[in-house]
Each structure stands twice: as C-alpha cells, then as structure tokens.
Amino acid sequence: MLNQDDITKIIEAGSEVFATKEDLKEATNNLSTKDDFNKMMNAVDKYAVKADTYFQEMVALSHI
C-alpha cells in the first residue's frame, strides 16, 4: 500500500515529466508570430502521426 511519502514522490515525478498549463502559456507567449505557432503545431502533428503508425504496427505484430 502506498504511504504519504510514495504519493509525494509520484506527484513530484509527474510534475517533471508532464507540461502544466503554466508551461503551455509560457511557450505560447514566447512564440513571436503565428508562423512560429504553426511550425510548432505541424511538428506535433507529424510526431503524433508517426507515433500512431508505430503503435498500430506493434498491435498488428502482437497478433501474429
């Protein structure tokens, strides 16, 4: 069973890995133009497509 110390460690680890709302606000404030924002979104979209393809391939391979 988890104790309070374990829960605290999990929360601290999650804050280091995942972006917060404040992190996203800061990132969008640092974008000087809409072009910068569009470049960032295109990069995220390309990564998402690659990740989706990879996960679909892993599912297909696991069913062989």
Whole-model pTM: value is: 0.45
pLDDT at 14: 63
Number of domains comprising the chain? 1
DSSP 63: T
Q: φ, ψ for residue 31 (rounded to 5)?
A: -75, 120
Nearest CA to 19 out of 45, 54, 52, 44 is that of 44
What are the CA-CA distances from residue 26 to residues 20, 39, 51 (Å)? 10, 17, 26
Using DSSP, state whether 20 is helix, strand or coil: coil
**Rounded mean pLDDT, 5-21:** 75
The pair of three-digit structure tokens given for residue 32, joined into one six-digit string: 């000087």
Task: Residue 51: give the domain boundaries.
Answer: 4-62
**Rounded mean pLDDT, 6-25:** 75
24, pLDDT greater than 90: no
Residue scoring higher pLDDT (17 or 25): 25
pLDDT in tens, 38-64: 888 899 999 999 999 999 999 998 887
